[in-house]
């Protein structure tokens, strides 16, 4: 299965990370191409259809197809669907709605590893204010991440914190994708 996941990651990779906002950015794949990649992956993986829809919504979101991702995520009534839905609203940006969806997520199984990976990022150490905001007592704070994205939206794109937040968003995406592929 790991080989299939790596293949999917290669097929959907983009030259640059998604913006914290809605995009669109250059070099994203069109929806029909993404649907073909996802359908092929799902046929080979034999994952349950619910996982397939989560993967589809997440991949569409990665490629800035927010409306299509939203149509799928809003019909998935569990913590995973709320997680994707929350990311979507965070990127729109509709921060209060994103917080609503992350409150519905509760304590997601991806949060401990997300906290660990964020704390280990180059340029983020336990003394930085951003890490203190996002990793409270070793636990991931999804609401803190939304607040950090909102605060960063007032900064220039070249700000180093923007790059760090986009990298955190990449880690979040990869952890979710791997979780949905189990």
Tens digit of each residue's pLDDT (9 = 90 or more) over 74-100: 999 999 999 999 999 999 999 999 999
pLDDT given at position 123: 65
Distance CA 18, CA 173 (A): 10
pLDDT at 124: 63
Q: Which residues of 39-78 are buried (b: 16+ CB within 10 A; e: fewer)?
A: eebbeebebeeebbbbbbbbbbbbbbbbebbbebbeebee
pTM of the model: 0.95
**Partner residues linked to 136 by β-bridges:** 139
The pLDDT assigned to 136 comes to 86
The pair of structure tokens assigned to 31 is 């929806």
DSSP for residue 154: T
Alpha-carbon distance of 61 to 69, in angstroms, equals 6
- Rounded to an integer, what distance in angstroms lies between the CA atom of residue 166 and that of residue 176? 15
* The pair of three-digit structure tokens given for residue 75, joined into one six-digit string: 């019909």
Whether the Cβ atoms of residue 148 and residue 169 lie closer than 8 Å to each other: no
Cβ atoms of residues 160 and 123 within 8 Å: yes
Low-confidence ranges of the chain (pLDDT < 50): none
Report pLDDT digits (tens) over 122-136: 766 555 788 878 998
Report pLDDT for 80: 98
């Amino acid at each position: 299965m790991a080989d299939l996941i790596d293949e999917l990651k290669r097929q959907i990779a983009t030259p640059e990370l998604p913006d914290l906002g809605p995009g669109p950015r250059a070099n994203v794949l069109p929806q029909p191409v993404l649907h073909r990649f996802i359908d092929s992956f799902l046929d080979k993986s034999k994952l349950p259809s619910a996982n397939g829809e989560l993967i589809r919504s997440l991949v569409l979101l990665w490629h800035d197809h927010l409306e299509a991702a939203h149509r799928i995520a809003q019909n998935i009534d569990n913590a995973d669907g709320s997680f994707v839905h929350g990311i979507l609203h965070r990127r729109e940006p509709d921060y209060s709605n994103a917080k609503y969806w992350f409150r519905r997520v509760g304590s997601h199984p991806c949060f401990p590893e997300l906290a660990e990976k964020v704390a280990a990022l180059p340029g983020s150490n336990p003394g930085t204010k951003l890490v203190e905001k996002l990793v409270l007592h070793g636990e991931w704070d999804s609401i803190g991440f939304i607040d950090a994205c909102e605060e960063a939206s007032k900064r220039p794109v070249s700000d180093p914190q923007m790059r760090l937040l986009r990298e955190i968003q990449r880690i979040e995406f990869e952890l979710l994708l791997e979780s949905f592929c189990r």
